[in-house]
Structure 1
Amino acid sequence: MLVTFKSKAAADVLMYEEHAKRILDLLHKDVSKGILTAAELPDAIARLEAEIAESKKHPELEATQRDSDTRDGDADDDNEQERAKTVSFSTRAYPLLEMMRAAQRDNRDVMWGV
């Protein structure tokens, strides 16, 4: 399931629920629907930035496997799958963090599930 984050300060950000849940748990918010008010954004941004910094200290623990299986484009290796690609927590969180920063600059809220 996808979670769509919305703010009048930035374009929508879509994220798989399992990845959004990690961020929203950090912010003590429900993944199904919620709001980060303009007043909550400075603390939320600081928490997310701290978690990103911590995750960069341990990249081997934070890497998550790509959700979909992809095939190698070589015809000779038609039945062999590519190695799973990894996406770090910081890479997954960055679009939402940028939305939160833009919302803070414009004094706007960030919402999801509405």
Structure 2
Amino acid sequence: MLYKFKSKAGADVLMLQAHFDQALQALGREPAPQGIFQAADLPALIQTGESAIQAEQDAHERAKAEAQAEGRKPPPAPEVALRQRLWPLLELMRAASSAHTDVVWGV
């Protein structure tokens, strides 16, 4: 299934369901077919998304360091990192926050 995030502040952001679920969970929300990020909540949601990205990067760096210390082959980086998946949505959210407008999906 394809999900579309929309806002008056920018272009639509499309995501497949698996990526949509991952994005919402990274933002601290339960996946739902319809929803809204209200303008007042956007700065905190953006920070939550950036923290999730940093946590993923830190976990990968720790795993690499542990593997190197144990003489094992380091784990591969994800083919598509959370940073890459969330970037378009975070950009839309930043634009919406600046314009004091909401981001919606499924409507």
For normalisation by structure 1, the TM-score amounts to 0.73
Per-residue CA deviation, residues 42-79 of structure 1 (Å, 9 max, x unaligned), is 1111100100111122345872xxxxxxxxxxxxxxxx
Aligned-residue RMSD, C-alpha: 1.7
**Separation in structure 1 between the aligned mates of residue 89 and residue 76 of structure 2, nearest angstrom:** 21
For normalisation by structure 2, the TM-score amounts to 0.78
* Corresponding residue to 2:94 among 86, 93, 101: 101
Match of 1:31 in 2: 32
Residue type of the partner of 1:87?
V
* Corresponding residue to 1:89 among 82, 89, 98: 82
Residue type of the partner of 1:93?
L
Deviation at 1:91, TM superposition (A): 0.3
Deviation at 1:29, TM superposition (A): 4.0
Deviating 4+ runs (over 6 angstroms): none
Contact 1:6/1:111 (8 A) holds in 2: yes
Structure having the higher helix fraction is 2
Question: Which is greater in Rg?
Answer: 1
Deviation at 1:20, TM superposition (A): 1.1
Per-residue CA deviation, residues 68-101 of structure 1 (Å, 9 max, x unaligned), is xxxxxxxxxxxxxxxxxx1111101100000000
Unpaired runs of 5+ residues, structure 1, are: 64-85
Residue type of the partner of 1:24?
L
Contact 1:5/1:110 (8 A) holds in 2: yes
**Separation in structure 2 between the aligned mates of residue 87 and residue 45 of structure 1, nearest angstrom:** 20
**Separation in structure 1 between the aligned mates of residue 92 and residue 5 of structure 2, nearest angstrom:** 9
Is 2:37 the counterpart of 1:44?
no
